[in-house]
Homo-oligomer: A and B are copies of this chain.
């Protein structure tokens, strides 16, 4: 399996940095938490990140689930919404707000994220999660994505047009297929260069420590 070197490694003049793949799904609440906090932690640990959006729907289907486990199991869902409030407060994020539709259709946002340069993806990702989980916006609505792109200084029309082209569609499909090969079943995930899979926002610190050790 060929892997592109992230820009941070290519630009580095010292020894190559350890790398961590950050796998996230735009409908995933815990991916929001991880996206908002991962960058300074990775920087402090000397880890280069690769931001990799993928789709959970096809993976849930292989496990016999037609929607999020938080919908299938109401007690678990109820707990998750409260847990998100607590985490948002402790991370000093804007107040958590459940979206109108859960899980959101993440296809359009994922394709836009992959239409952007690697360097632009983190800011876009964080902005999508903020819109979805702190402003109650529907991230499947093109207007939501256009507004975010505009605020971040991108050309909304050109970026959305590019996100519908075959190479971008293929890249999202390839990400989702690679996630399946890695044994991913939820989000977020952190995968180290030696193939260790860490699932959940609450495993971020362990994943960074694992990546830094090697």
Contacts and interface: CB of A to CB of B under 8 A. Distances in A.
Given A79-B199, A197-B79, A199-B79, A185 B73 contact: yes
A177 to B, nearest CB: 14
Interface string A164-188: 0000000000000000000111100
B206 A76 contact: no
Contacts of A184: 75
Contacts of A151: none
A183 B78 contact: yes
A86 B73 CA distance: 28
A185 B79 contact: yes
A63 B86 contact: no
26 contacts: A59-B75, A62-B75, A63-B73, A63-B74, A63-B75, A63-B76, A65-B73, A73-B185, A75-B183, A75-B184, A75-B185, A76-B185, A76-B186, A78-B183, A79-B183, A79-B185, A79-B197, A79-B199, A82-B197, A83-B199, A86-B196, A86-B206, A90-B206, A200-B202, A202-B202, A202-B203
